[in-house]
Each structure stands twice: as C-alpha cells, then as structure tokens.
Amino acid sequence: MYFIFIICFIIAFFITVLFFSRIKYIEHNLTLLSSLIGVIEVRDPNLEGHSLNVRNLSLLLYYHLPFSYQIQINPLKLQYATLFLDIGKLCIPSSIIEKCGKLGKDELDIIRYHPHLSANVLQNVKGFQKIAKWIKYHHERVDGRGYYKLKGDEIPLASRIMAVADTFSALVMERTYKPSLSYEDAIAELRLAAGSQLDRALVEYFCAISMRDIEKSMEEVKAQMQMYSLENCMSKKE
C-alpha cells in the first residue's frame, strides 16, 4: 500500500512539473510576442502600445469579473487574442493608417476590415481557431448593428471584453487625428456606449476598477514602449 502511494505521489509530481513547465513555456512565448508587437507598434504613432494596452486592460477586466465569467475564458488565450488584435492592420496601406484628419468612406471600410484580416492570419494555425474567432468579432456591437450583425451573447465573451479594453485605450491615447481624453471623460464615453456598442455589464465591471490600477497598467506599457524607441536604443549604444 505504501509502495502504491509513493508511485502515485511520483506520478502526480511529474504531472505537476510538466503542467507548470508548459505554463512557463507559454508565458515565455507571450513575453516574446509582446516584445515583437511592441517593436512593430513603436513605428506607428497611432498604434504605439495600443495592443499592449488592450492586453493589460483586458486582463485587468478579466480578473475583476465574477467567477461565472472567468471560467468561460482561458486568460492565456485572451492574451494571445489581444496581442494579435491589430495584426491585420499591417495589410492595410500606410497612407490610410498614418493619415492625419478624417478618413473617407472607402478608407473607413478598409480600416473596419482589419479584424477579418487579423483573424485570417491565425485561422490556419493549430489551436488558434477560437482566438481567431474572438479577434474577428471584437468590433461587433451588442445592439446587432456591427459588421457581422451579431448581437448580445451571440458575440463571444472574450470579444466583448476586448471591445471594452480596446475602446478605452483608443479614447485615452493621443493619435494624429484626435487628442486624448482624460480618464474621467473616457469612462463617461464608455458608459454612453454601454448597451449599444459595448456590453453594459462589462462596462460597469470595468468602471468599477480603480483609476490607479488602470493608470498603472497603462504606465507599464509606456515604459515598455520606451525601451523600443530609437532614442533609448541609441543612448544604450553610447
């Protein structure tokens, strides 16, 4: 009996080691992906750190949700989805992405197509089909007036979480075609969009997160993006 106990303990130990080794490997990959996305986005004044902000804010929201929400989503997959969120914009001409001022209707239609382009990048990658689906629908409106006409719970929960984080990040970031909003004004805009563009319950959970936690999350991204700036690289060379 004692021998059987020892065997079971050893098996359980190795399963635990393998599990945490796999988690560590995935986290290593996410760190590498985060760095690559940061290097890509540092070149674009309208993206600079946006995907990293969406990743941090989505996780912040995820960990402030009730357990009944959390069990529906793997937070590691949520991170992959947020980091690949705007990868489709690399397929869009820079003349549109970097344009100052208001975009024309045709240009807006192209920009709005980027979730589909991002999803296409991942669609044929083994194990990423669900992530691709989350990305594809992250700009859907809960009132059903989005590109694919999904509404409410028809939109994946992860997509709705990313939509809240994506909207907040876009509001508070300064871009070539618009000024940034303060935390208070951005929160007010989220509440205006609740129930039409964004999931009302998720907006309320997001607004319940302390301003300090949200600002800390975004400051971490600013510090990370500073590492990739040309000025920082040149100063280290000297």
- Tell me the chain's radius of gyration from C-alpha atoms: 20
pLDDT band at 10 (very low <50, low <70, confident <90, very high): very low
Return d(Cα 63, Cα 107) in angstroms, integer: 36
Dump pLDDT digits (tens) for 165-221. 999 999 998 776 677 889 999 999 999 999 999 999 999 999 999 999 999 998 998
pLDDT of residue 26: 65
pLDDT exceeds cutoff 80 at 28: no
The β-bridge partners of 102 are none
Whose CA is closest to 162, among 61, 70, 91? 61
Catalytic: 89? yes
pLDDT exceeds cutoff 70 at 119: yes
User: Can you give the three-state secondary structure of the chain, one letter per residue?
Assistant: CHHHHHHHHHHHHHHHHHHHHHHHHHHHHHHHHHHHHHHHHCCCCCCCCHHHHHHHHHHHHHCCCCHHHHCCCCHHHHHHHHHCCCHHHHHCCHHHHCCCCCCCHHHHHHHHCHHHHHHHHHHCCCCCHHHHHHHHCCCCCCCCCCCCCCCHHHCCHHHHHHHHHHHHHHHHCCECCECCCCHHHHHHHHHHHECCCECHHHHHHHHCCCHHHHHHHHHHHHHHHHHCCHHHHHHHHC
Return d(Cα 35, Cα 62) in angstroms, integer: 22
Beta carbons of 225 and 48 less than 8 angstroms apart: yes
Residues 6+ apart with CB under 8 A from 77: 130, 131, 134, 158
The yes or no reply on domain 2-237 and CATH 1.10.3210.10 is yes
The tokens for 56 are: 């941090």
Residue carrying structure tokens 């990370």? 224
Question: Catalytic pick from 89, 136, 151, 236?
Answer: 89
Q: Please give the residue that has the higher pLDDT: either 73 or 24.
A: 73
Dump pLDDT digits (tens) for 46-97. 677 889 999 999 999 999 999 999 999 999 999 999 998 888 777 776 767 6
pLDDT of residue 232: 54
pTM to 2 decimal places: 0.83
Q: Is 127 left (phi over 0), alpha (psi -120 to 50) or beta?
A: left
Amino acid at 61: L
b/e burial code for range 76-111 (CB count within 10 A of at least 16 → b): ebbbbbbbbbbbbbeebeeeebebeeeeeeebeebe
